């Protein structure tokens, strides 16, 4: 596996040496992170009419860790191409990742008509499954 990684790095460096800045513009980057999910009220939504002598309403603090969701995002040098939140109860497996890549491919066509993109993403198991590597 390390030899494959070294070969890939060598190929990418050769592409960069040949293409320069154009190579960097072909890179499509993806990442994911757990984010807190909550909808706090804005100031206007929380306003209410009350008399001067009325007690002020009690506000409850929103607990940021009330719910976490997995956020996935893909971007190119110009803009964000695709982002999604993993539904509660779902897991990232090869089928889910293939589905995400399918949507990403469609969105990428709308953004870059003339460029072949190079996907740079992390390497957990669903991303390297045999299903994903077969064309």
The answer to whether residue 95 is domain-embedded is yes
Strands (E), the chain: 27-36, 68-75, 80-85, 118-120
Containing structural domain, residue 99:
26-38+59-135
- Report the distance separating Cα 126 and Cα 93, nearest Å: 5
Tell me what pLDDT residue 98 has: 87
Domain count, the chain: 1
pLDDT of 14 above 80:
yes
The answer to whether residue 19 is domain-embedded is no
The answer to whether residue 18 is domain-embedded is no
DSSP calls for 36-52: E---PPPHHHH-----T
Tell me what pLDDT residue 97 has: 86
The answer to whether residue 12 is domain-embedded is no
- Report the distance separating Cα 27 and Cα 9, nearest Å: 14
The answer to whether residue 34 is domain-embedded is yes
The answer to whether residue 130 is domain-embedded is yes
Q: What percent of the chain lies above the pLDDT cut of 90?
A: 16
The answer to whether residue 8 is domain-embedded is no
Complete edge-to-edge strand list for the sheet that includes strand 27-36: 80-85, 68-75, 27-36, 118-120
pLDDT of 123 above 90:
no
Residue 108 contacts by C-beta under 8 Å, 6 or more apart in sequence?
28, 76, 81, 82, 117
The answer to whether residue 117 is domain-embedded is yes
Q: Tokens for 22?
A: 């154009």
pTM, whole model, 2 decimals?
A: 0.65
- Report the distance separating Cα 103 and Cα 84, nearest Å: 10
What CATH number does the domain containing 132 carry?
A: 3.30.420.10
Tell me how far apart the terminal alpha carbons of the chain are, to the nearest angstrom.
Answer: 20
């Amino acid at each position: 596996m390390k030899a494959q990684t070294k070969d890939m790095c060598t190929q990418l460096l050769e592409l960069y040496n040949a293409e320069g800045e154009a190579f960097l513009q072909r890179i499509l980057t993806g990442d994911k992170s757990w984010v807190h999910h909550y909808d706090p009220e804005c100031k206007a939504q929380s306003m209410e009419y009350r008399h001067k002598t009325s007690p002020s309403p009690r506000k409850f603090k929103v607990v940021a860790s009330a719910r976490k969701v997995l956020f996935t995002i893909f971007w190119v040098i110009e803009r964000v191409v695709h982002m999604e939140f993993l539904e509660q109860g779902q897991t990232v497996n090869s089928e889910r990742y293939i589905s995400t890549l399918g949507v990403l491919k469609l969105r990428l066509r709308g953004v870059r008509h003339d460029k072949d993109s190079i996907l740079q993403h992390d390497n957990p198991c669903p991303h390297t499954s045999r299903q994903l590597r077969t064309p």
